[in-house]
A and B are shown apart, each in its own frame.
Chain A
Amino acid sequence: MFGSLKLKHKIFAGFISVGLVATAIAVFSYGTFNLVSTNFRIFVNSSNSAQLGLLLARDVSEIQRQALIYTYEAHGSAAEQVHELYRGMSDTLQKSSEHESEYIKKIRAHLKAYMSTFEQLQKQKQLQHRLVYNDIRTSASDAEKHLRSYIKLISNHEDHTSLLQDERILNTLLLVEKNAMRYFDSLDPQYIGEAKENLAEVRKRLQKIEANDTSKAAMDHIRPAMKEVVEYERVFLEAVARTRGYLFLVNVVMAAEAYEVLYNAKLMSAQISQEMGEIEQGTFSMLQQVIGTLVVAIGISLLLVVILSLLIGRSITNPIVSLTTAFRALSKGSHHAEIPVYEADDEIGHLTRAASVFKEKNRQTEQLLDHKKQLAKELEGNKKELERSNDELEQFVYTVSHDLKSPLVTSMGFIGIIQKLAAQGKLEEAVEKLDRVVKSNERMGQLINDLLDLSRVGRVDMDKIDIDLNELLASFHEVHSQQIEKAEFTMQIEPGLPVIYANESRILQLFENMLSNALKYAYNPAGSVLSIGSKEHDDAYLVWFRDNGPGIPEEYHEKIFGLFYRLDPETEGTGIGLAVAAKVMKFHNGKIWVESSPGEGATFWLSFSKNEEDSE
């Protein structure tokens, strides 16, 4: 996953991923808390609105109280208070108009209605005030004035009884005023009835007087008094009606409006508190949810960071661990150490390449060591070969000296005997011995020739060519047919002989030695047969010479290839033939050996390497 990234990039990637996760968590948290704070603002606003409801309720109670005070007391300050409160409430409503609800509109409408009713009430009150304190007083005092004038007139000439009755009317009239004032002060309807009764009584007495008295005085004063009383009653009734009107206004209309305001304020409060509850609930559940999400998000992020760190860490440590193992192996000189594949061009990449270089050096060192061992082995081989060669040379010198001296001893010995016999006069005997001397000398000549032959192998005429053994052996057979026949031998050559790369004259010398050995040692009275054949191996051609003679005991299988070694001293020969054969085979990088057991004949194997031509 991180294999191709550079080390520092991996580390940067790690830090950046951690930073990104932290930023993501921070952004998410910020968003969440922003939402919470928005909700909180809404909540605070709602709370303010709820406050407004309470404020309105308080003000409505107050304004109603002031209105009532004004109604009963008619204090101007109370009216002022009402107006003041109204302005205050209007301001409050105005302020909260930014989120104007249905309720606020209604409250405002009702407040307006309340105020207009209050203004109407004020007018009614002023009117009633004027009627009560002006018109009623005027009518009452006019009627009283007329009655008093009448009473003054009649007191001059009337009896005391009628005077008394007249004064009673006056009193009743005063009673009317008293009851009217009581009513307007207490607003108790009972006083209205009493005032009406009083007025009815006044009017009845006046009509009685009018009917009884037809005097000018009566005409002049009772009639206007009557008129005033009627006026009085009308004004009084109007004042009552006015009073009742504004009482209706204040007790019914304004109370209803105030109630409406309160009701709407209450509804508004209820709605707000419901909204607040919803917001609170929403905020709370959202907060719960957000906290849950946040915990999960942080958990997942941390898990991701941990996994990422592990991956990055492992992608850094794994190659280092492998490299350490590789270096440990390399430091021990191994060149089989497994070097991890690492492609990024960073510090670990450099180490990996260094390890490869180490490995290559180790391999070269190993090769050099191998080469050195090989050289040492070759040197050892050469040394052995040299030693063997020296030994051979020593052996050669020894044998030559011995075997060449031998005929000399013989000739000198026989000559000495001949001299002695001659001195004794045994001439015939002496002459007989001469032949022995000749033979011995001939033998010495033969030895010298054979030794020259042996020394010639590998020294003279060394050219090699491809030789078809089928052809060579056929002509060989023909050339030696007489010799073979004379020795009572049969020679059989099997077909399919190989073509070998060799020196023809040496090979012929070898074959001649093989043939002469066979004729010399492998005679079989029952019919001697020498057969020649071949066999192919992976890397060599094997040519065999097989006889049916007496065979060779195993202990002589190696000795017979030694110089001057003769199995039977009685047979003629110098003991050089097989030594020459061995040397010829060695010259061709081949081998010669014998397989035989007494009575079973003998097989001589000649092995010619197939790669002889290539090794030249």
Chain B
Amino acid sequence: MSEQTKRTILLIEDDKDHAEITQFHITDHAPDINVVWLSDGEAAINHIVKEHALSNGAYPWLVLLDIKLPKYSGHEVLARLKSDETLKKIPVVMFTTSNVATDVDKAMIRGANSYIQKPMELGNFGSVIAKIIDYWSLDQHRLIFEKLNKP
């Protein structure tokens, strides 16, 4: 893992508490990962586009996307990301309390890379976050990320 490609997780979450819990577990599992928290869909889209323009190709390593968001919903943010030729290479993990079939179907059709329900069982939150990070840290995923962030 090179120095110049620091991994950033874009956390798009309107619930302050959930964001805090998620952030805690990410840092707990992989302290090297930078977490950027955005509380609504509009801010998230703006951030991705603006950040890339400012830092010349600094794309997030992973996007954790809630569905129920003010302004733009998670589905809309997903559609926006996956309709862009470059941005669609960023893995998007839907991370939400909803487990209704329509939400799952909609997300998969629009190209979500995975769909994880926020755990309600005691002690599960940390292991779920760890598994997500480990999965996307596998070599085949890392190569895509490095290629994407090549200057």
Contacts and interface: CB of A to CB of B under 8 A. Distances in A.
B121 A417 contact: no
A420 B18 CA distance: 16
A567 B39 CA distance: 12
Given A398-B98, A414-B17, A569-B70, A409 B24 contact: no
Interface string A404-416: 0110111011111
Contact of A401 (B20, B98, B121): B98
A430 to B, nearest CB: 12
B28 A415 contact: no
Interface string B33-62: 000000110000000000000000000000
Contact of A420 (B16, B40, B68, B126): B126
B120 A412 contact: yes
A58 interface: no
B77 to A, nearest CB: 16
Given A409-B97, A409-B119, A566-B70, A417 B24 contact: yes
Contact of B120 (A405, A568, A569): A405
Question: For this complex, into which size category does the number of interface residues on chain B fall?
Answer: 20 to 34
B120 A408 contact: yes
B96 to A, nearest CB: 8
A413 B125 contact: yes
Contacts of B98: 398, 401-402
B123 interface: yes
Contacts of A440: 17
Contacts of B120: 405, 408-409, 412
Given A420-B126, A566-B70, A413 B97 contact: no
Nearest to B15: A406
B118 A409 contact: yes
Nearest to B21: A413
A442 B88 CA distance: 40
B100 A410 contact: no
Nearest to B68: A402
B21 A414 contact: yes
A412 B119 contact: yes
B114 interface: no
Contacts of A569: 14-16, 39-40, 70
Nearest to A566: B70
Contact of B97 (A402, A417, A419): A402
Contacts of A406: 15, 18, 97
A417 B118 CA distance: 15
21 contacts: A398-B98, A398-B100, A401-B98, A401-B100, A402-B96, A408-B120, A410-B17, A412-B122, A412-B124, A414-B17, A415-B122, A416-B122, A416-B124, A416-B125, A417-B24, A440-B17, A566-B70, A567-B70, A568-B70, A569-B16, A569-B40
